[in-house]
Amino acid sequence: MTANIITVLAVVAGIAWLGILFVSAIRNRGGEEIAPNVKPGVTDEVIETRRLENGQKAAIVFSAFLAISLPLYFLGEPARQEGFVDEFSEASITRGEHIVAEFACFNCHGPDGSGGVANYVEKRSGVTVSWVAPSLNDIFFRYDEDEVNFWVTYGRGNTPMPPWGLPGGGPLNDEQVVDVVNYLRTIQVSQPQNLADIEPGIENALATLADADATVEAEILNQRQVVAQIMAAPADAEIVVPLAERARLVLDDAGSGLDTDADGISDAAESELSAISQEAVDAFSILESVALDPATPDADLVEQVIAALEAAVDTDPIVSLYLAAIETALEQGQVDPDVGLSPGALAGLEEIRAAAVDAGVDVPGSVGDLADAEALVAALEEAGEAEEPIEAAAGLAGEAAAAIEDGSDPDGDGISTGAEAAISNQVAAVIEATTPSNLTLIALDPTNPASVGGEPDATTAGRFVGNLESMVTTITVTADNQAALLANENEGLDFLIAALEAKAYAIDFEGVAEAMGSSVEEAERAVGLFNSTCARCHTAGYSAGVPFTQEAGSGGFGPALWDGRPLVQFGEATENPDDDLLIQFIIRGSEAQLPYGLNGFGSGRMPAFGPSLSAEDIALLARYLRSGNLDGGGVTDVLP
């Protein structure tokens, strides 16, 4: 602020001085000007007057002004410079934010950079996968600014991450890359949040391993569906091409004829486009939408649904996934009239009863029928309303009441309310899964100019016809290239079937524990740590998903770690963690152009995990890596 005031005063003084000179020049204008070198000099009498004194006073005042203002200006200069730095930084951050939005970085890296997925053709299988894109809101806990700049500039080859900087072949100049990096720094989570995210990451990694076989089986079904859709493309083209041609003709002539709602689409065109959309949806639907009513017997309708799905399995293999879910819902939702509740409800009520006992509630014995269940609810409500209520009782009573409602059979068709809701949901899901995503049913009303979701009918009609024509392009290209596409997708299917048989992703925790000399619980945590923090780079195919994951530590972007390679590179563990080369490497990461371990030379690509992992977890991870048995399948002898 002081510097600004001084600057203003200096400008005002300069303007005033120029004004004085200007006025003086005007006053002294007279006849023909005599050159200064031929003018007679000013006499001492004239000089040694008040004119000299005034000049001296002015010089003293101006000198005093300079003597005071320059130090003050100097004192304010650092703050002014800091202000410029802040201003430049804020402008850079704003530009970076716009670049991130313009190039849709968060479409892959998730909302606010919290992590997401990106479509990518996995190179070993040729299968299109949802590749896990890492979070960016914690990247500065792993890399420094230069390393982040490197990743943005050059991308990461053999992954969906492209280069964005000009040196890497991208569209951004060096300044724009810096802007992006500056913006990313502003979205970083706090250190406590970064540490808190470790536990969910470990739990998710272990849950992924637990469900691995089911995940691969689901991926095989998806791939069978892709093959089936390619097989059906010629027949689908015979259906959709004429419909698209009809729809285009109707839309092009939609301005002619009676238009009751004055929306630019004639009444006849609205009715015809609605009919065409119904024909298209019917052609691709394997069954109609079903909403089972707990108050109306639905057993016959459920049998019809199951029959329709069984018939559709050959043409739409993905249907088998939903068919299995419906059969499970029926099995758990069958209601014996003598019992009054479904097996699934009884099992859930038994869990609630056990929780009530643990909470100290006096409840009846095992829940075997509806009467027992109602007695359980009554006991829980009484405990929750007592003079000294048991805190958990009221919540458990609510859960028990909900379980009774879901497990009951008010319409007497032998199917519980909860099972009917589950079946309805599965039917809706299978219809969505087997109907082309851009095909929707429209019902245009000639008396309403915005009859579908409040959108103008002209827009709705144009989008419908455009989507139909897009389907034509996709289906005809698929049909024309059917042989080549089938060959590629069948290879992908064979890869997935082989992956399920090989189970390279599997971990034998007992084998890992034996190799580490630890408990099974420690082995599980070590594997969870490795898969959540290291496997992206050090296990081939890990980011592509379980079906494409190779043996743990097999190497990918980073070097292979199996068979005791860390022992070769970092030597045996030391008693003091500060002297342990592997532990220190995990803490600090790789530093570019600096040696590490016994033989390594850093590239800066190995992140630092010191800010993210506890000392205990880092030590556990080091033990796991040195064990040489990352999947528990057997220890391989390594060089001393």
Can you list the pairs that 468-475 forms with residues at least 24 positions away whose Cβ atoms lie under 8 Å? 468/240, 468/243, 468/244, 468/247, 468/276, 468/280, 468/439, 469/244, 469/248, 470/438, 471/240, 471/244, 471/436, 471/438, 471/439, 472/237, 472/240, 472/241, 472/244, 475/233, 475/236, 475/237, 475/240, 475/241
Element (H, E) at 129: strand 128-133
CA 343 – CA 333 distance, rounded (Å):
6
CA distances for 555 relative to 492, 550, 563, 587, 634, angstroms: 22, 9, 12, 20, 18
CA distances for 200 relative to 144, 197, 258, 529, angstroms: 25, 6, 62, 11
Residue type present at position 220: I
Torsion of CA 327, 330, 331, 332, to 10 degrees: 120
Q: Which residues of the chain have pLDDT under 70?
A: 1-10, 17, 21-37, 41-52, 72-73, 76-77, 79-86, 634-640
Collapsing DSSP to helix, strand or coil, 596 comes out as strand
pTM for the whole structure: 0.79
Residue type present at position 388: E
CA distances for 290 relative to 251, 317, 429, 572, angstroms: 32, 20, 11, 64
Q: How far is CA 490 from the centre of its chain?
A: 30
The whole-number pLDDT of residue 223 equals: 96
The whole-number pLDDT of residue 89 equals: 86
- Cβ count within 10 A of residue 68: 11
Q: Which domains does the chain have, with CATH numbers?
A: 2-22+45-87 (no CATH), 103-137+139-188 (1.10.760), 213-297+434-483 (no CATH), 336-408 (no CATH), 509-626 (1.10.760.10)
The whole-number pLDDT of residue 61 equals: 77
- Cβ count within 10 A of residue 408: 19
Collapsing DSSP to helix, strand or coil, 270 comes out as helix
Cβ neighbours for 584, distance < 8 A, ≥ 6 positions apart: 577, 578
Torsion of CA 196, 200, 206, 208, to 10 degrees: -140
Whether the CB-CB separation of 470 and 438 falls below 8 Å is answered with yes
Nearest to 339 by CA among 369, 300, 362: 369
Residue type present at position 543: S
The whole-number pLDDT of residue 554 equals: 93
The whole-number pLDDT of residue 30 equals: 54
pLDDT digits (tens, 9 = 90+) for 33-49: 666 667 776 666 666 66
The whole-number pLDDT of residue 62 equals: 76
Q: For the purposes of burial, counting CB atoms within 10 Å of the CB of 46, is it exposed (0-12), middle (13-18) or buried (19 or more)?
A: exposed
CA 552 – CA 356 distance, rounded (Å):
43
